[in-house]
Structure 1
């Protein structure tokens, strides 16, 4: 029987002047309950997943590709200016600004369409042209299909982070694209409201 998993929450993607790029998932509704995870790619290409439980780590690592998986506590909190996230050997704070150009474009699409998998499959070629390195539909590992339905996007204004006792410097574009799956986050640092749908057969 086909299986369908839906994750609703926010994804933040940003780069740093150190070359470390981060994609943070802050999930409100999932098959595993609320949780946060971090996908991190180092300048040399080493890809690391930080996830809070064996169950979430296994699902994410089966869907995407990593060189290292760490099951560790990952917590975040919203502040008046943005978001603060912590995990063992990682600390990240970033500010959230106004609606981004992508966010203004998204206002054209009714929310019911924006998260519909048939719509996301149809607009994928257009999304690739409008936002390089970003896709709305594609193939994941383990025979899975994945769909990203973004309904809102805001600019990340600034960031401060340390990773493994090293200051990562200041905010930078998320470039080159991260290589966890078929799609990267936009190169311009931003946080998006998203519904991610993952389907599989079996």
Structure 2
């Protein structure tokens, strides 16, 4: 069985060391939703999920030290995105598409989301994008495939945790440790189709 999630993943770091990965999923087996994975500077990994169903599915696929269920909302005007997921508040601005984004857009969607193509891309990604994987084993015996369709740089961000500003936008460094791979080191918004194969 393969579950398909179509949406966006934003990955960014802050000067304080907090790193956040927000997923905005307009189409999924669980309906539209937004969730956030956070790794604090001390290495503590949290999932902020909008419902028990989302929390159960995501926590069975990734690894966290803590799972919190509560309201998670996102909105965008196309270039500015906001995510509210107490205790996290996140706002970021999306800039131009780098060369990699142009290359991703050139691949037909049916090819880009085919597990066979994603497996080939994984070989290249391991060599040129440290920490990034497009295919791998997830928790619970699951297998994941990330079909990237587009990529934009994140040029500015404001991140708060428990009402405390987390400092300037920074690389995702060290890589986050929720699953088999991290987001790109440079803050970015990726248009993606994620496939989760369950036995």
Q: Which range, TM-score by smaller chain?
A: over 0.9
Q: CA deviation at 1:79?
A: 2.9
Under a length normalisation based on structure 2, what TM-score does the superposition of the two structures give? 0.97
Q: CA deviation at 1:24?
A: 0.3
Query: What are the Cα deviations for residues 100-145 of structure 1, in whole angstroms up to 9, with x where unaligned?
Result: 2320231342222111111111221111112111111110011100
Match of 1:134 in 2: 132
Query: What are the Cα deviations for residues 145-166 of structure 1, in whole angstroms up to 9, with x where unaligned?
Result: 0000000000101000111121
Alpha-carbon distance between aligned partners in 1 of 2:109 and 2:27, rounded to the nearest angstrom: 17
2:96 corresponds, among 98, 111, 115, to 98
Match of 2:189 in 1: 191
Match of 1:11 in 2: 9
Match of 2:115 in 1: 117
Superposition map of 1:44-193 within 5 A? 44-79=42-77, 81-193=79-191
Alpha-carbon distance between aligned partners in 1 of 2:79 and 2:145, rounded to the nearest angstrom: 30
Q: Does the C-alpha gap of structure 1 residues 113 and 81 become closer, same or farther in structure 2, counting only changes over 3 Å?
A: closer
Match of 1:42 in 2: 40
Note the residue ranges of structure 1 that are not aligned, 5 or more in a row.
none
Under a length normalisation based on structure 1, what TM-score does the superposition of the two structures give? 0.95
| Aligned CA-pair RMSD | 1.0
